[in-house]
Amino acid sequence: MSIQKRRVDVVVILTICFFFGLMQGIAFCGALDGFAGLEGTIAIAGGTAHIPVMNDAAKNIMTVNPGIRITVEGGGSGVGVQKVGEGLADIGNTGRALSEQEIAKYGLKSFAFALDGVAAAVHPENPVGDLSPQQVRDIFAGSITNWKAVGGKDAPVHLFCRDEASGTREVFWEKLLKKGPVAATANIVASNGAMKVAISQDKNAIGYVGIGHVDQSLKALKLEGIAATQENAMNGSYPVVRKLYMNTKGEPSKLVRTFIDYVMSPECTDIIKKYGYIPLK
């Protein structure tokens, strides 16, 4: 088959699919209009809290415009910074604000699109539901090793922590643990999703996870009576809060800019809320 013929075939198929997609009644968001006629690849890497939102956004965009390819990886906020800084990704997601050195070293621009709290979480059947910040600090430092010391069952505490690149870890460590020591015996898991699975399978587990990831399989601990909900995070009464950022190296390209605008547009607030985060205006 000659090249011209094949190209015509591809165009025909794409056009048919485009109309087919339209006829499926996919929510044709206004912001998705911006993608018409664009094509290319967007490589997204970094924060694991962002992944569900990124996946849904990617799904909507790719269904409407099959000429765009979006790949999503995790790895944690540190990896996001590194990959976007080194040019290995177009968008690096972080679950924490960039540091001065990072901005200076790579020349990054940040776009915050959602608010998320970080909660200490336990198994739903754990009788403990409320702890003071000092008790949390002691548990994570390894000084409290049995649940009965904080009013729970007589059972050992199973600690779960995140890997070094995690923005969730950094926010939790700075704001709740006050940069205190963390026991070396903690099990390490590599993402918010993994933390959720680990805690939901172990009755004596404690770990920390973005509030957006909390559902019936986990119980978020209250901090001295203040519930760990996104509303409390929003109004400031729950202290452990972070924004979710998309970062690019310098000014984003047209395709990437359109993606960022789409995620921050009113049409995407449904997606962001669906996964438990609070969209930022």
Partner 1 sequence: MKTATDLLLTAYAWFCAIAVFLATSLLLGFLLKRGMGVIHPRLFFGDTPWFPALLGTKPVFEGIWPALVGTLALVLVSSVMAIPLGIASGIYLSEYASARVRSMLGFAVDVLSGTPSIVMGLFGFTMILFLRKTALPQARPSLFLAAGCITLLILPYVIRTTQTALEAIPEHIRLLGPSLGLTHWHHVRHVLLPSASRGILSGAILAIGRASEDTAVIMLTGVVARAGLPASLWDKFEALPFRIYTLAAEHRSVQELDQGFGMALVLLLMTGSLFAVASFLQRSLEKRWKTT
Partner 2 sequence: MQEHARTRIPANHVQPVRERWIRRSLLIATGISAGAILFIFVLLVYFCLPLVNSGGMSSVLSWQWKPFGGEFGILPMCAGSLFLSVFALGLAFPAAIGICGFATVLAPRSVARSTLVMVHFMTSIPTVIYGFASVFLLVPLVRDWFSTGTGFSFLTAGLSLSLLILPTIVLVFHARLQQIDPALRLAAEAMGLTPVRQFLHVLVPAASKGLVVAAILGFGRAIGDTLISLMLAGNAPRIPDSLFDSIRTLTAHIALVLATDSQSMSYRSVFASGLILFLLMGAVNFLIRRLDRGPGENRYENGH
Site residues (vs partner 2, CB under 8 A): 75-79, 81-82, 156, 158, 160, 163-166, 184-190, 198, 201-202, 204-205
86 contributes a contact to partner 1 by CB under 8 A: yes
Q: Please give the backbone phi and psi of residue 249, each rounded to the nearest 5 degrees, phi first.
A: -90, 110
Cβ at position 219, least distance to partner 1 in Å: 18
Pick one of partner 1, partner 2, none as the site partner of residue 76 (Cβ within 5 to 8 A by kind): partner 2
240 binds partner 1 (CB under 8 A): no
Q: Which of 31, 32, 42, 51 binds partner 1 (CB under 8 A)?
A: 51
Binding-residue total with partner 1 (CB under 8 A): 32
Query: Which residue of 38, 62, 112, 182 would you call a contact of partner 1, by CB under 8 A?
Result: 62
Partner whose binding site includes residue 239, from partner 2, partner 1, none (CB under 5 to 8 Å by kind): none
Binding to partner 1 (CB under 8 A) within 177-236 occurs at: 189-194, 196-197
| Partner touching 81 among partner 2, partner 1, none, CB below 5 to 8 Å by kind | partner 2
CB 206 within 8 A of CB 153: no
Nearer to partner 1, 188 or 234 (CB): 188
Nearest approach in angstroms of CB 117 to partner 2 is 22
42, 58, 120, 241: residue in contact with partner 1 (rule CB under 8 A): 58
